């Protein structure tokens, strides 16, 4: 028995591949953090600014290959098999969204990896909403993983191609969607075996696990009305808007962005001589070039929405700053949340 700080109960697992593996989880309804244990001998890459998700198990010796904390976001949790290229049923969620991608030690099977996660979550009181293996997930070609869980628009880029291909699925697809005892946290666990020889590096041929966590949270009231926008532009030449929301990793505006867009329309209507640049900003997670592109696309999406609402496009311009103009440290979750924003910047005549 390993003694850890806090109310954490270790669980011992045995398998034919390793004599001992330990997954430990917080069993209280309000989950807490996990203390690290000695890992199997392997060198893991370092992803600055990210650690494990508090209260979620980490397989002994697994390496973190990708991470993202999206802040408040919408997420469609699959709770049914794939049909016609999409999950047959999804559960719409909103809350603090976090993702982690781990690569297991050499010799660990996808079944073993998945079974440990499922058992640990069950021990913590999580209720299973949907579980599937291989064809039961909807196809014999791992489409759930390749199109939904780790599809082209969800590739993590912390380590470049090492993260992008850390889940290069060959077979042995496993998926579990579960909810915590208090209903405040939803977890999606996806495990598959990577292809041997199709990719190079540490992840080749190994089992990998991708985890989505959505923790219920109220959308913060960051509303800035048209008058406040006008005041900020007049006094400072710019104003940051924290309530222009996009689907995670995309330039698609969410319904929650509608109030901010309406206030921008009012701002432009109340000030007919005003011209502005819409400037997109991201945090530092991922490739700098990809962030630059995403910030520009998001700025253009706002311009397009304003033009669709009747604002003269000649009074608007779109620009993206990517990660190059932070207003807080990117080393913390709170700082990264502040850096993901849209700004209105006064534009000369």
Q: Closest Cα to residue 251, out of 318, 333, 325, 329?
A: 318
Q: For the chain, how many helices (H) and strands (E)?
A: 7, 14
Are 174 and 190 within 8 A, CB to CB?
A: yes
Neighbours of 58 (CB within 10 A): 24
Residue 85: what pLDDT? 85
Kind of pairing, strands 90-103 and 207-215? antiparallel
Q: Running DSSP on this structure, what letter comes out for residue 130?
A: E
Q: pLDDT confidence of 37, banded at 50, 70, 90?
A: very low
Q: What is the pLDDT of residues 254-289, one digit of tens each?
A: 888 888 999 999 999 999 999 999 999 998 877 888
Q: Closest Cα to residue 306, out of 333, 275, 341, 273?
A: 275
Q: Taking 90 as the threshold, does the pLDDT of residue 22 lie above it?
A: no
CA–CA dist 52, 333 (Å, integer): 13
CA distances from 188 to 172, 306, 326 (A): 17, 36, 31
Q: pLDDT confidence of 23, banded at 50, 70, 90?
A: very low
The residue with greater pLDDT, 81 or 202, is: 81
Enter the pTM of the model. 0.58
CA distances from 157 to 116, 143, 234, 285, 290 (A): 27, 21, 38, 8, 9
- Window from 93-107, 142-156, 188-202, 308-322 with minimum mean pLDDT: 188-202
SS3 228: helix
Phi, psi of 318 (to 5 degrees): -115, 140
Q: Closest Cα to residue 217, out of 124, 336, 312, 97?
A: 97
CATH second-level architecture of 226-346?
A: 2-Layer Sandwich (3.30)
Q: What DSSP assignment string belongs to 149-163?
A: IT-GGG---TTTHHH
SS3 121: helix
Domain parsing of the chain, residue ranges: 8-215, 226-346
Q: What is the pLDDT of residues 47-92, one digit of tens each?
A: 988 889 988 889 999 999 999 988 888 889 999 999 988 899 999 8
Are 319 and 277 within 8 A, CB to CB?
A: yes
- Radius of gyration (C-alpha) of the chain in whole angstroms: 22
């Amino acid at each position: 028995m390993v003694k850890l700080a806090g109310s954490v109960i270790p669980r011992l697992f045995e398998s034919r591949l390793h004599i001992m593996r330990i997954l430990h989880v917080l069993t209280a309804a309000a989950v807490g953090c996990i203390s690290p244990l000695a890992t199997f001998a392997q060198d893991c890459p370092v992803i600055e600014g990210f650690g494990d998700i508090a209260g979620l198990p980490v397989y002994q010796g697994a390496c973190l290959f990708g991470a993202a904390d999206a802040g408040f976001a919408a997420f469609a949790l699959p709770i049914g098999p794939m049909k016609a290229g999409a999950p047959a049923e999804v559960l719409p969620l909103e809350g603090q969204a976090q993702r982690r991608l781990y690569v297991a030690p050499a010799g660990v099977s996808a079944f073993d990896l998945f079974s440990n996660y499922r058992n640990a979550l069950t021990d913590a009181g999580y209720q299973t909403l949907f579980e599937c293996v291989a064809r039961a997930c909807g196809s014999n070609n791992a489409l759930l993983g390749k199109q939904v869980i780790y599809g082209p628009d969800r590739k993590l880029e912390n380590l470049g191609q090492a993260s992008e291909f850390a889940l290069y699925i060959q077979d042995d697809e496993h998926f579990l969607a579960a909810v915590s005892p208090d209903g405040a946290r939803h977890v999606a666990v996806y495990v598959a075996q990577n292809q041997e020889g199709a990719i190079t590096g540490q992840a080749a041929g190994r089992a990998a696990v991708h985890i989505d966590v959505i923790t219920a949270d109220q959308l913060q009231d960051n509303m800035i009305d048209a008058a406040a926008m006008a005041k900020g532009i007049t006094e400072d030449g710019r104003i940051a808007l924290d309530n222009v929301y996009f689907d995670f990793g995309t330039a698609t505006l969410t319904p929650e962005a509608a109030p901010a867009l309406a206030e921008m329309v009012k701002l432009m209507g109340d000030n007919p001589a005003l011209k502005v640049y819409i400037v997109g900003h991201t945090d530092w997670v991922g490739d700098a070039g990809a962030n630059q592109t995403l910030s520009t696309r998001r700025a253009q999406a706002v311009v397009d929405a304003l033009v669709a609402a009747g604002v003269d496009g000649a009074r608007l311009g779109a620009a993206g700053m990517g990660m190059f103009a932070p207003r807080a440290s990117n080393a913390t979750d709170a700082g990264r949340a502040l850096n993901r924003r849209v700004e209105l910047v006064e534009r000369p005549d």
